[in-house]
Amino acid sequence: MSNEIEDTVNQGLYYVDCVERTDPPKDIQTGDWYRYVIGRGKSRIEGLKPGSLQTVTEHAHSAVDDLNTRITKISSTNYVSQKRK
């Protein structure tokens, strides 16, 4: 595990665990498809997306950024509301 992922895991944030080529879904016969896995602790989010390795990797990183933004907003809001009580 890279130091960057290790630091992210220690902070309790989401990270891109892997992006790998996979077969297309059963009803779709063409195109390049990739499976990506986003991790946080023991939780995993898996997704499938058509495109190039680069575009799917960018998509997965964008999703991670969105999820981590939500976590940090929720955490800071909880902290503020607890201090006001």
Give dist(CA 46, CA 35) in Å, integer: 7
pTM recorded for the entire structure: 0.75
Domain ranges of the chain: 3-84
pLDDT by 10s per residue, the chain, length 85: 666 666 565 578 999 999 999 999 988 888 999 999 999 999 999 999 999 999 999 999 999 999 999 988 766 555 555 555 5
Asked if 16 and 57 count as a contact pair (C-beta separation under 8 A), the reply is yes
